Amino acid sequence: MASEAEYIGRVKPALEHLHNCGAVHRETVSVHEVFRGQTVWKGDVEVFDLTGHPKAKRAYGWSEKPPNGERFFAVLEFSPIKSALDAVRASIVADAKKGKR
């Protein structure tokens, strides 16, 4: 298993590339999302302060390792996204609309 620094070292450049800006790691937040009594997502979300983004000052990033490789997520902090939990929920909804969950 990768160390926390190695993990952040993979999430950070993915976020920077996806949103064309710089990012400084701020903190790690544990998120546990439950729907109808069932866990739908549980893990750590990395919080980054952004530099050089025209609108957002913060973003949330994480990765998942499905069978076909690592998938990165990078959600900007815009209303209604105000927390790591909001970012995960938005990602779940977006994937459900695309048929990925």
What confidence score (pLDDT) does residue 69 get?
86
What confidence score (pLDDT) does residue 100 get?
64
Q: Residues 15-32: pLDDT tens digits?
A: 999 999 999 999 999 999
Per-residue 3-state assignment (H helix, E strand, C coil) for the chain = CCCHHHHHHHHHHHHHHHHCCEEEEEEEEEEEEEECCEEEEEEEEEEEEEECCCCCCEEEEEEECCCCCCEEEEEECCCCCCCHHHHHHHHHHHHHHHCCC
pTM, to two decimals: 0.90
As a whole number, the mean pLDDT across the chain is: 92
